[in-house]
Amino acid sequence: MKAKYGATMADLLQFYADLAVNNNKPWFDKHKDFYLGVNEFKDNLAMEIYQGLQQFDKDLTGLSIRDITYRIYQDLRFHDRPPYKSWVGIYVAKKGKKSPYAGYYIHIEPCENRYFICSGLYREDKLLLKSVREDILVNGKEFDRTIRVGKGWEIDWDGALKRVPNEYPSDDKYSEYFKLKHFLVIKDIDEDYLLAPNLASRVCNDFKATHSFVKMLNNAVDFALEEWN
């Protein structure tokens, strides 16, 4: 293990891979200094990404590190699960990660070899879902344009309905989008992507292609909040 300060992405990947197979308090306490260095690196990376996103998304203002990152400690009050999260998530959205707004997310999970970035809205809230679907009904062509963000990005169809909901026309040109229960575009990445230089600037450059999509979703969120509170 290295010293507390000056951690790198390689250190972060090592720590979370080791944590996944030693997910208990004695091991964590023994490696607490190493974790503090890794966490400092993660927080610095998160703020660098946040600042980069602000260059093209002007709605991202006034956020602290707590608004865009997640604690490593699990909530054990009502769940039987390991005490620590074995993954890192950074989520930058208008008014913070607990807001109803669409945003930009990076996921790092070495134990599952699961690495991706994604943009959009992951909220199974009925009013927000209704608002986005009604926007698609009126502005389907624009929604189709913004959700097709470019090479390497894919629409996340996980959990989508098998049929178009009854209240929406199944013969609409963009009816497939009515089946979505969340609205995300995802790009898989890997350790090489994470370990290469200038990670934050590369992540922000990838996210820039999704800005129009996020903005359109957030217009629908604003409508829902204003009309239906």
pLDDT of amino acid 2: 47
* Sign of torsion over alpha carbons 49, 55, 60, 65: positive
pLDDT score of 31 more than 60 = yes
Bridge partners (DSSP) listed for residue 107: 89, 116
Ranking 1-5, 36-40, 132-136 by mean pLDDT, the lowest is 1-5
Compute CA distances 42 → 11, 37, 46, 123, 143, whole Å: 10, 9, 6, 25, 33
**In a 10 Å sphere around its CB, with 0-12 CB exposed, 13-18 middle and 19+ buried, how is residue 20 labelled?**
middle
Does residue 3 fall inside a structural domain? no
Read off the tokens for 210: 């999704």
Domain presence at residue 13: yes
Q: CA-CA distance, 87 to 74, in Å (whole number)?
A: 11
Give the pLDDT band (50/70/90) at residue 81.
Answer: confident
Strand arrangement of the beta sheet that strand 103-109 belongs to: 88-93, 103-109, 114-121, 183-188, 154-155
Domain containing residue 98: CATH number: 3.30.930
pLDDT, the chain, mean: 94
Averaged pLDDT for residues 87-115: 97
> Tokens representing 20?
């996944």
State the average pLDDT over residues 201-220. 98
pLDDT at 89: 98
Q: Say if 2 falls within a structural domain.
A: no
Asked whether residue 34 is assigned to any structural domain, the reply reads yes
Residue 85 has pLDDT above 60, yes or no: yes
Residue 4 within any structural domain of the chain: no
When mean pLDDT is compared across 32-41, 47-56, 75-84, the lowest value belongs to 75-84
Confidence of residue 78 (pLDDT cuts 50, 70, 90): low
Amino acid 212: pLDDT: 98
- List Cα–Cα distances, 27 to 13, 89, 108, in angstroms: 17, 22, 21
Does 40 fall in a domain? yes
pLDDT of residue 77: 67
Number of domains in the chain: 1
Token look-up 């996103």 returns 53
For residue 117, being part of any structural domain is answered with: yes
Q: Is residue 195 within 8 Å of residue 9, measured between CB atoms?
A: yes
Full residue range of the structural domain in which residue 191 is found: 9-228
How high is the pLDDT of residue 220?
96
- 12-24 pLDDT tens trace: 999 999 999 999 9
pLDDT cut 90: percent of the chain above it:
90
In a domain, 151, yes or no: yes
40-55 pLDDT, tens digit per residue, is 999 999 999 999 999 9
| Of the candidates 123, 89, 125, 122, the residue with the CA atom closest to the CA atom of residue 105 | 89
Quick one: pLDDT band at residue 219, thresholds 50, 70, 90? very high
pLDDT at 153 > cutoff 90: yes
The SS3 assignment for 109 reads strand
Residue 100 tokens read as 């109803």
Buried b (16+ CB within 10 A) or exposed e, 61-80: eebeeebbbeebeeeeeeee
d(CA 4, CA 74): 23
What would the mean pLDDT of 143-172 be, rounded to a whole number? Answer: 96
Decide if pLDDT at 125 tops 80. Answer: yes
